[in-house]
Amino acid sequence: MKHAVLSALLSVAPFASLADPLPSWTQSDSKAAIVEFVQAVTDPDGPDYVTPADRVAVFDNDGTLWAEQPVYFQFIFAMDRLAAMAEQDPSILTTPTLKAAAEGDLATVLEGGHDALIEVVNASHSGVSVEAFQAAVADWLATTQHPDTGLPFDQMTYQPMVELLRYLRDEGFTTYIVSGGGLHFMRVFAEQAYGIPPEQILGTYGTTSYAQVDGVPTIVKEPGIAFIDDKEGKPINIERTLGKRPILAGGNSDGDFAMMEWTTAGDGPRLGVLVHHTDAEREWAYDRESPIGRLVDGLDKGPDMGWVIVDMAQDWSRIYTGAD
Amino acid sequence: MKHAVLSALLSVAPFASLADPLPSWTQSDSKAAIVEFVQAVTDPDGPDYVTPADRVAVFDNDGTLWAEQPVYFQFIFAMDRLAAMAEQDPSILTTPTLKAAAEGDLATVLEGGHDALIEVVNASHSGVSVEAFQAAVADWLATTQHPDTGLPFDQMTYQPMVELLRYLRDEGFTTYIVSGGGLHFMRVFAEQAYGIPPEQILGTYGTTSYAQVDGVPTIVKEPGIAFIDDKEGKPINIERTLGKRPILAGGNSDGDFAMMEWTTAGDGPRLGVLVHHTDAEREWAYDRESPIGRLVDGLDKGPDMGWVIVDMAQDWSRIYTGAD
């Protein structure tokens, strides 16, 4: 009799429920909607089946896959790198903005707005080969902690999103990052942090040149931003690079709106996943008024387009990969 | 006894020699060098083993994977499309160059040099959604023949190169096109012709916009060329898109020199494959003096860098996929 009961239990409990692919998500409507979508597009006998070649999922990075407060982590790197460069040669700090950045005076830099950010990135991200730049990023990630959490920056990835990426790949999706962050910066940690290889990372990029460095043909980072992968730039870059419209897009700010709108406007089953920062206790709570990660359009128009609005405080049982 | 002999024969003859992966290549030094390279990088016990993730092979398209005479096939499409557009609205032919192009007067257009080519491409490749443009390309490919061979253009792919692409993929490589030709144009036929999907095609691209067309978010082709994927642009675009240096590069003209130089200058085993157009009888013979596919640097410097120089007349037993 005991054996019969055990048998019956095993036969009715599908394996999937034993091994939850999204263990850091609570049993919420958000999770149910995501799982339902994945099951629909992978069911070869269902009306919404999508062939694996078209199971393309795109995700913003800052604020969607890892944290972005008090400022984009790449910008903290830029200031730290500028300070290190100025130790070797103080004459590079030619403007008040660069001086403030090298001193770590974020407030003063932010007062300068967009132009000041570009100035600091240009000064700290150019005049170096891609290889040497990426070695500097790797060194910084290995030796620097976030000012508030004390965690290494690449441990401040969102564990529920890391699980979602893995779940999608297990179900035959290809997962891409499409970020306003820098291409060369992200490629240093994204493969280990998210399982996303360099060729599946799209981002903002500066001008590069093809040069002979010590007699070896080398790609060198030059001043000047060649492409900003934000807002309308995101769908433009995806179409240019992939040649197809994704079926799933994840984001968290107005910079992701066009990408998510374009994705979910396509024919057939589509899903938008909007991460709403609602957890002031475990992370940060911000949306409409935040200078970093401002979110208005997605909250106003996303629900009507069928997007899943993820409530971080309610829907995630765990936040950071690097902290329980 | 008979069975014993058969057994012995089967045991010494490796399967690979029974099924030649490159049947349209003669038993030449070129073929031997390619096979030797592939065997070296795929032998897990050998000193030159390369992990599959790094088995990246890049190929030019015009003159390397398909023919390019008397002018790039995309340019014949551009002239045909301009003529079709002018039938609807003759007022679009605002300059002598555009009038000549719409009349199919290639000689006059070519006299205008680079600027004339850009003018014709701009006029024929913009003001249309990517989807509608690609439908026009597909229609043109299905209904137009090459003026000399009478073959559909997408049957003028080089069968030996189609076999090489397949062989490389069978051996764990990822194959990319990196062409001076247009991204949206190539994506229409490359998957069927070469087995290369849209996201593995890099090329020249025009400006695009994100627009609402009949209420649907759409990517629209605009006038103006945003990036020319030629010469130094090729390694720059590969690094930007893939984030890694390939281990094999194939090309046929000076426009491919930087890509092949960058590829073969990397550490470890590398291979350059330069297609030399030597077959005036079955194809075209041209190199140093040709306005299309000019080849000087590769012939002068390639051999010293260990590149395989493919002699089409000697090394290929068959030329076009669409003709024996």
pLDDT tens sequence across B61-79 = 999 999 999 999 999 999 9
- Min distance A222 CA to chain B CA atoms (Å): 12
Looking at chain A, which residue has its C-alpha nearest residue B267?
A: A216
Q: Is the peptide bond before A223 cis (omega within 30 degrees of 0)?
A: no
What's the confidence (pLDDT) of residue B92?
A: 95
Asked if B243 has any chain A CB less than 8 Å from its own CB, the reply is: yes
| pLDDT tens per residue, range B170-191 | 999 999 999 999 999 999 999 9
**Is residue A88 predicted with pLDDT exceeding 70?**
yes
Q: Which among A199, A217, A236 is the nearest to B242, CB-wise?
A: A199
Band of the pLDDT at A109, cuts 50, 70, 90?
Answer: very high
- Contacts of B149-152 spanning 24+ positions with Cβ under 8 A: B149/B320, B149/B323, B151/B320, B151/B322, B151/B323, B152/B322
Q: Which of helix, strand or coil describes residue B13?
A: coil
Residue A16 pLDDT more than 80? Answer: no
Cβ <8 Å between B265 and A130: no
- Enter the tokens of residue A6: 């055990």
Coil, strand or helix: which one is A269?
coil
- The pLDDT of B153-157, averaged and rounded, is 98
The yes-or-no verdict on residue A176 having pLDDT over 60 is yes
Model pLDDT for residues B202-243, shown as the tens digit of each residue: 999 999 999 999 999 999 999 999 999 999 999 999 999 999
Angle, vertex CA A93, rays to CA A89 and CA A94, nearest 5: 125
Determine the pLDDT at residue A1. 43
Which residues have a Cβ under 8 Å from the Cβ of A123 and sit 6 or more positions away? A82, A85, A92, A98, A101, A223
3-state secondary structure of A172: coil
Beta-carbon contacts of B230 under 8 Å, excluding residues fewer than 6 positions away, are B180, B204, B255
What CA–CA distance (Å, rounded) separates B187 from B173? 20
> Model confidence at A13, in pLDDT bands (50, 70, 90)?
very low
From the list B210, B216, B243, the residue facing A201 with the nearest CB is B243
Select the residue of B199, B216, B243 nearest A242 (Cβ to Cβ): B199
CB spacing of B53 vs A235 below 8 angstroms? no
Contact call for B198 and A130, based on CB within 8 A? no
What is the structure's pLDDT at B139? Answer: 98
- By C-alpha distance, the chain A residue nearest B209 is A236
At position A16, the amino acid (one-letter code) is: A
Q: What is the rounded distance in angstroms from the CA atom of residue B316 to the CA atom of residue B24?
A: 6
**Residue B217 near residue A261 (C-beta atoms within 8 A):** yes
Q: Which helix (H) or strand (E) holds A275?
A: strand A271-278
pLDDT at residue number A237? 98
Distance CA B209, CA B212 (A): 10
For chain B, how far is it from start to end, CA to CA, in angstroms?
Answer: 42
Structure confidence by residue, pLDDT tens digits, B278-321:
999 999 999 999 989 999 999 999 999 999 999 999 999 999 99
Give the percent of chain A with pLDDT over 90.
Answer: 91
Has residue A212 got a pLDDT over 70?
yes
Mean pLDDT across chain A = 94
Band of the pLDDT at B1, cuts 50, 70, 90?
A: very low
Determine contact, residues B229/B203, Cβ cutoff 8 Å: yes
Does the interface predicted TM-score (ipTM) exceed 0.90?
yes
Q: Residue A232: pLDDT above 50?
A: yes
Q: Which of B246, B264, B267 is nearest to B301 (CA)?
A: B264
Contact residues, chain A, for B217 at CB < 8 Å: 235, 258, 261-262, 265
| pLDDT above 90: residue A114 | no
Please judge whether B235 and A219 are an interchain contact, meaning their C-beta atoms are less than 8 angstroms apart: yes
Average pLDDT of span B14-41 = 89
> How many residues would you count in chain B?
324
Q: Would you mind telling me the total number of residues written for chain A in this entry? A: 324
Residue A11 has pLDDT above 90, yes or no: no
Q: Transcribe A99-124 into DSSP letters.
A: HHHHTT-HHHHHHTHHHHHHHHHHHH
The confidence score (pLDDT) of residue A113 equals: 87
* Burial grade of A84 (CB within 10 A; 0-12, 13-18, 19 or more): middle
CA distance A274 to A59: 10
| Its pTM surpasses 0.80 | yes
Bridge-partner residues for A320, per DSSP? A158
Find which of A219, A262, A270 to mutate to test the B interface (most B CBs within 10 Å of its CB).
A219
pLDDT band at B135, cuts 50/70/90? Answer: very high
Average pLDDT of A52-78? Answer: 97
Residue A32's closest CA among A316, A251, A248, A308? Answer: A308
CA distance B82 to B302: 39
Structure token pair of residue B24: 């349209």
Q: What is the pLDDT of residue A164?
A: 98
**Scanning every residue of chain B, which has its alpha carbon at the shortest distance from the alpha carbon of A211?**
B232
What DSSP designation does A94 have?
-
Instruction: Please state at what angle helix A29-42 crosses helix A159-170, rounded to 10 degrees.
Output: 20
A262–B contact, CB cutoff 8 A: yes
Q: Which helix (H) or strand (E) is A78 found in, with range?
A: helix A73-88
- The tens digit of pLDDT for each residue in B9-18 reads 455 444 445 6
Within 8 A of B57 by CB-CB distance, chain A residues are none
pLDDT of residue A76: 96
